[in-house]
């Protein structure tokens, strides 16, 4: 699995972190079809409170509901982003004024 792109979905305690089941496979299929990247086609799920997040250069977080990170989740998220980690945040409902978007922005 060396030098492969792998998709990491972040699991967090509040909200509905696994609301969009199709997005990971859609993204992975597009990477395989349209790029020359080596791609691990299996999605990885890592809890935001785990230090395993720091092994993932690309993370996906999604939801519709209120996001309230625990202290450890907030610390890991901040450390991850400040050290160059990339987070794709998706409210899955195209409502930029929705509950997930507003509460996620406050967590940042």
> Is the separation of the CB atoms in 85 and 52 below 8 Å?
no
> Is the separation of the CB atoms in 60 and 8 below 8 Å?
yes
pLDDT at 101 over 90: no
Interatomic CA distance for residues 91 and 63, integer angstroms: 5
Report helix, strand or coil for 24.
Answer: helix
Average pLDDT over the chain, rounded to an integer:
89
Query: pLDDT tens across 3-58, in order?
Result: 789 999 999 998 788 887 888 899 999 999 999 999 998 999 999 999 999 999 99
pLDDT at 1 over 60: no
CATH number belonging to the domain at 5-107, selected among 3.40.30.10, 3.30.43.10, 3.40.50.12140, 3.90.1150.10: 3.40.50.12140
pLDDT at 98 over 90: no
Query: pLDDT tens across 46-94, in order?
Result: 999 999 999 999 999 988 888 899 999 999 999 999 999 999 988 877 6
Interatomic CA distance for residues 42 and 19, integer angstroms: 18
How high is the pLDDT of residue 15? Answer: 78
- Location of structure tokens 């977080």: 61
Predicted TM-score (pTM) of the model is 0.85
């Amino acid at each position: 699995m060396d030098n492969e792109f792998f998709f990491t979905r972040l699991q967090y305690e509040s909200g509905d972190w696994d609301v969009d089941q199709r997005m990971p496979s859609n993204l992975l299929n597009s990477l395989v079809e349209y790029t020359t990247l080596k791609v691990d086609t299996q999605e990885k799920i890592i809890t935001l409170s785990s230090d395993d997040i720091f092994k993932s250069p690309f993370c996906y977080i999604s939801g519709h509901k209120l996001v309230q990170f625990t202290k450890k989740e907030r610390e890991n998220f901040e450390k991850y982003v400040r050290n160059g980690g990339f987070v794709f945040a998706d409210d899955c409902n195209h409502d930029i004024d929705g509950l997930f978007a507003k509460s996620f922005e406050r967590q940042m």
